[in-house]
Chains A and B, each alone.
Chain A
Amino acid sequence: MWRSLNNKTMGWFEERFQLKEIIEKNLTKKKIPRGISWFRCMGGIALIAFLLQIGTGIFLVFYYVPSASDAFNSVQYIRHAVSYGWLIQKVHAVTPYFMVVALLVHMLRILFKGLYQKPRELHWVSGASLLVLTLIICYTGTCLPANNLSYWGVSSVGSEVGMPTMVTDHAVGDYQNKGSISSHGFMSLYALHVICIPLMMCIIMGFHFLMIRRTGVSEPL
């Protein structure tokens, strides 16, 4: 009975989506070169970390208040009052530490083995852009909880690094002049952190995966 139900369900989907051929071609009947090392999975690990950040970030968006006066308290509320908020918030804060390790291992492996050479230059261009964007998104993320770290971050980096956006003018100017960041500055950082950079990363990631699909991974040396 179970088998019959399963076949009927599969048949129903197959009739509408014709997925069988795609699954066979890309998954079950796909062959790859033997002897692929475990280090090749680092890019996939970075993707998992990104998805983890997206998942936990979506949860945090519901509770975080991007304003100078309420940001710190909203983070405390998430950590102490919301069920399992401490877990989700801390996973969101800790994952980048490991994500960057995976990205660096991935990039160094490609750099040392010269896997970026023709015809895979664009793999490197998209991957390196993703690493740069990851560092920027981590920087904006450290500024958002309005804790000691974010104060140090914006005042020591922002004033001199001054991300070439309106963020510096708002965030740093307000930090230095009034001793606290303005809501406007927070909104700029927040917009960069939750919309602009993730969107750019998703587009570049799509491009990265498309390139890998088209030209394939490089041969082992």
Chain B
Amino acid sequence: MADYSKGRSEEELEPFFPNEILRHTLLTFFFISAVMLGVLFFPESFQKSTDEFASFQTKPPWFLLPFFHFSSLINNKVWYIVILTIYAIMFIAVPFFDRNTERRLWKKPVLLSIVIINLLMIFALGIIKYFQ
């Protein structure tokens, strides 16, 4: 087990209980409050796909919109799966590509550019699908 007290003075440490536990508890309450507000105010999305609702299209969750839009850009199903799988593997394998000893992303311009381009691309795909 990791021992954080090694090489640190008492001033540099704080007790896990209650400090950290309290932080987590407070944030948990905020989170549950946010979920409850969502329950009360999010628009109803449970409509049956019937003729009378034919023009009604409920949107999927915001975080799936980029994938939905990307799927409409690539017609080949196999290619779509291959691209998504490679993308997921590269995302999971980031620590093995980045062997730079510098930790901060701001000081690694190449990786920073790749990250920003990817974030913008995902954001743009989602926004376009949202307004379609």
Contact = CB atoms under 8 A, between A and B. Distances in A.
A79 B84 CA distance: 35
B31 A48 contact: yes
A215 B49 contact: no
Contact of B72 (A41, A76, A132, A160): A160
Interface in A108-166: 111-118, 120-121, 124-125, 128-129, 132, 135, 138-139, 142, 145, 147-149, 151-153, 156-157, 159-164
B86 interface: no
Interface string A7-29: 00000000000000000000111
Contacts, number: 200
Interface size class of B (residues with CB under 8 A): 35 or more
22 contacts: A27-B21, A30-B15, A33-B4, A33-B14, A38-B23, A52-B35, A75-B46, A90-B42, A94-B39, A94-B42, A95-B35, A97-B62, A98-B35, A117-B95, A117-B98, A118-B95, A135-B67, A147-B48, A147-B49, A148-B47, A164-B81, A215-B2
- Dominant SS among interface residues on chain B: helix
B37 to A, nearest CB: 9
Given A94-B39, A214-B1, A32 B95 contact: no
Q: When A and B form their complex, which 4 residue pairs have the shortest distance between CB atoms, in order from nearest?
A: A216-B2, A114-B103, A121-B95, A30-B16
Contacts of B61: 96-97, 100, 138, 142
